[in-house]
Amino acid sequence: MSTVSSALRDSATMLRRDIRHSLRNLSVTLSGLLVPIIVLLLFFYVFGGAIGAGLGGVAPSFAYIDYLAPGIIIFTVGSGCATTALNLCMDLSEGIITRFRTMAIFRASVLTGQVLGSLIRTLISVGLIIGVALLMGFRPTATPIAWIEALGLIALFTLAITWMGVVFGLVGKTPAGANSLSLIFQLLAFTSSALVSPDSMPATVRWFAEYQPFTPVIDTLRGLLLGTPISGNSVVLAVAWCIGLILVGYFWARAVYNRDPVK
Amino acid sequence: MTMIETHGLCKAFGDHLVLDSIDLDVARATIFALLGPNGAGKTTTVQILSTLLRADGGEARVAGHDLAREPGAVRAAIGVTGQFSAVDTLLTGEENLLLMADLHHLDRREGRRRATELLERFELVEAASKTPATYSGGMRRRLDLAMTLVGDPRLIFLDEPTTGLDPRSRHMMWQLIRDLVAGGVTILLTTQYLEEADQLADRIAVLDRGKLVAQGTPDELKRRIPGGHISLRFADAQGLAAAAHALGQGARDDNELTLQVPTDSSVRSLRAVLDRLDDESIAVNGVSIHTPDLDDVFFALTEHPTTQKGSVR
């Protein structure tokens, strides 16, 4: 069997294993799906009145839910990072990983299987969020092609966040460590254009908000879903951040995983 | 044919030398036991030979392949059942075996066939649809070994396969190991129990603080151990003195009124001692036989007891 096909086959096996784990760890999986929905409800029904009113000057014709939904979609992707990091970290402490290391399998399949599993989990979670947002009055105006582009962007960003989650799971050493490293992405989501426009932020914070990975991704997604103009700058920044994070995450994770497991 | 051959294998963690120039030679279809206390370097040796750790120095060929240059080929030929159970705790016993079948690229039907056969052979049929959380220690260890066998390895590493098992599970594990070797598999096992090495191994290497202190067949090693003795207890000091005089040897304890006479633990030597005392009409209050154990091996070979528990694995 060629290297590529056996790499694919081993990754598929590890993906099936990861899906089984998700189903056996149902409480963890369900809470991962529920938290973003709660955040969406919280920001719309609790803070939404105040924030939406403040947003009026920026986007007069928008209902706040239309502004908020794309932001929460990307927040959902970001919070998936913690689940990935935790799952991987706990998995690595199991003896079975040692067994995998002594088997003639595609080495990175332990990681790629988890990444694919996380991708599926996150996309299900995103689907749920879109459903709930639609029920709450979210009215995207995207054409079918724009929807495909939007889903492509979400998948690309999920891949980026997930590989970074794998890195956090590897370098975090303990579940608590892995979890606290993943907080970075929750923090980035809050300091982006997810909930409010960066225009309303003080200059320094605004500068940070505009160039960190979440804002360009959210702005591009918002443009695709709502048919509003997207700056070319946002698209380039969004794609560059995604590809950059995927490459860094993949090679970093592989390097850490391949190191001698010194105990 | 040689399945494992090492020359001058070394490993250090920081400035602590864990393995110091280890030479091993393990023949095909034999059981080779690495015997030693905690911290002797047994697990580290297994980790290096099974491609988990890289050696700092020396050479090794495992299953005909150079360990450093062809780790992939080595992995394809070996199976490892470690000291800490290497089963997936969230999958059922059967799912664990099917996972191994998938990773060995067996087709679906062949995988099912192997899994069913192994579940029967390892008496795990009833536990097949349960997760290992509900298993006893012995069942977990059996599932662990069954998973190792899915890929039909030619060489199996067993790191302390029976540590912590009850006697029944231990004997079952021993029988499984013997059956494997009868089928042509080579086994390198590590153990802290002289009895286990004695029962199973064709050759034993004694490891102490990272050094090989002795190597040979079980009989060769036992001949080097003077630990076997008969302990005789007497009613009074006169009896003890008379016996010590009559036998002309042995360690005398005047407080306990005992005399320790070294023997090879055979019935004949025991009878010879008792006959000698009978001839002299010396009454013996009690007799106990002490057979050599790991402590004696260590004391004899290294002149220090095993009681110091190393922190390095």
Contact A98 B82 (CB under 8 A): yes
A13 touching chain B per CB within 8 A: yes
A107 touching chain B per CB within 8 A: no
CA separation, residue B43 to residues A86, A139, A195, A222, B8 (Å): 28, 62, 54, 56, 17
Q: Which residues contact B307 (CB under 8 A, 6 or more apart)?
A: none
pLDDT at A59: 52
Q: What is the per-residue pLDDT across B77-113, written as a single tens digit (0 to 9) for each?
A: 999 997 777 899 999 999 999 999 999 999 999 999 9
Instruction: For chain B, give the percent of residues with pLDDT over 70.
Output: 93
- Do B192 and B284 lie in one domain? The reply is no
Range of weakest confidence among A10-14, A199-203, A244-248, B145-149:
A199-203
For residue B193, tell me if it sits in a domain.
yes
pLDDT at A200: 82
Helix (H) or strand (E) holding B214: strand B211-216
Contact B52 A261 (CB under 8 A): yes
| Conformation bin of residue B206: beta by default, left when phi > 0, alpha when psi is -120 to 50 | beta
Q: In B, which residues are within 8 Å of A18 by CB distance?
A: none
Q: What is the per-residue pLDDT across B50-80, written as a single tens digit (0 to 9) for each?
A: 999 999 999 999 999 999 999 999 999 999 9
Q: Name the more confident of A13 and B238.
A: A13
> What does the alpha-carbon distance between residue A3 and residue B105 come to, in Å, rounded to a whole number?
13
- Do B135 and B233 lie in one domain? The reply is no
Nearest residue of B to residue A11 by CA position?
B103
Contact B91 A17 (CB under 8 A): yes
pLDDT at B33: 95
A-B Cβ pairs (cutoff 8 Å, strict): 68
What's the total number of domains in chain B? 2
User: How far is CA A206 from its chain centroid?
Assistant: 22
Q: Which of residues 56-95 of A touch B (CB under 8 A)?
A: 94-95
Contact A170, A135 (CB under 8 A): no
Whether A150 shows a pLDDT value over 90: the answer reads: yes
Q: Which of A16, A17, A95 sits opposite B82 (nearest CB)?
A: A95
- Do B157 and B84 lie in one domain? The reply is yes
> What does the alpha-carbon distance between residue B299 and residue B183 come to, in Å, rounded to a whole number?
36
B133 touching chain A per CB within 8 A: no
Range of the domain at B7: 2-217
Instruction: For chain A, give the percent of residues with pLDDT over 90.
Output: 53
Q: Shortest CA distance to A223 belongs to which of A155, A163, A143?
A: A143
> What does the alpha-carbon distance between residue B291 and residue B226 come to, in Å, rounded to a whole number?
10
Q: How confident is the model at residue B313 (pLDDT cuts 50, 70, 90)?
A: very low
For residue B223, tell me if it sits in a domain.
no
- ipTM, 2 dp: 0.85
Adjacent-strand bridge partners of A244? none
Range of weakest confidence among A25-29, B143-147, B173-177:
A25-29
> What does the alpha-carbon distance between residue A31 and residue A121 come to, in Å, rounded to a whole number?
12
For residue B141, tell me if it sits in a domain.
yes
Alpha helices in chain A (DSSP H): 3-24, 26-41, 48-55, 64-92, 95-101, 109-135, 144-171, 175-190, 203-211, 214-226, 232-258
Contact A17 B151 (CB under 8 A): no
pLDDT at B274: 87
Q: Which of A24, A102, A262 sits opposite B80 (nearest CB)?
A: A102
Strand, helix or coil for residue B157 = strand
Question: Cβ of B21: how many Cβ atoms within 10 Å?
Answer: 15
Q: Region A169-174: what's the mean pLDDT? A: 90
B76 touching chain A per CB within 8 A: yes
Residue B238 has phi, psi (to 5 degrees) of -60, -45
> What does the alpha-carbon distance between residue B284 and residue B231 come to, in Å, rounded to a whole number?
10
Contact B95 A20 (CB under 8 A): yes
Alpha helices in chain B (DSSP H): 42-49, 71-77, 93-103, 108-121, 137-149, 167-182, 194-200, 218-223, 237-247, 267-279, 294-302
What pTM was estimated for this model as a whole?
0.82
For residue B224, tell me if it sits in a domain.
no
Whether A60 shows a pLDDT value over 60: the answer reads: no
Q: What is the per-residue pLDDT across B30-46, written as a single tens digit (0 to 9) for each?
A: 999 999 888 889 999 99
For residue B298, tell me if it sits in a domain.
no
CATH number at residue B165: 3.40.50.300
Token pair belonging to A10: 């081993």
Mean pLDDT of chain A: 88
User: How far is CA B53 from its chain centroid?
Assistant: 21
- Do B37 and B172 lie in one domain? The reply is yes
Strand, helix or coil for residue B192 = coil
Burial B86-97 (b: 16+ CB within 10 A, else e): bbbbbbbbbbbb
Picking from B159, B186, B217, the residue at the C-terminal end of a domain is B217
For residue B9, tell me if it sits in a domain.
yes
Range of weakest confidence among A55-59, A109-113, B171-175, B186-190:
A55-59
Q: What is the per-residue pLDDT across A184-236, written as a single tens digit (0 to 9) for each?
A: 888 888 888 888 888 888 888 888 888 889 999 999 999 999 988 888 888 99
For residue B222, tell me if it sits in a domain.
no
- Do B120 and B171 lie in one domain? The reply is yes
- Do B151 and B7 lie in one domain? The reply is yes
User: How far is CA B22 from its chain centroid?
Assistant: 18
Q: Shortest CA distance to B149 belongs to which of B114, B184, B181, B109?
A: B114
For residue B144, tell me if it sits in a domain.
yes
CA triplet B29, B30, B36: central angle to 5 degrees?
A: 145
> What does the alpha-carbon distance between residue A157 and residue B48 come to, in Å, rounded to a whole number?
39
Which of B70, B102, B148, B158 should one mutate to test binding to chain A, selecting the residue with the greatest count of A CBs within 10 A?
Answer: B102
- Do B11 and B133 lie in one domain? The reply is yes
Whether B235 shows a pLDDT value over 90: the answer reads: no
- Do B163 and B275 lie in one domain? The reply is no
Token pair belonging to A217: 């991704």
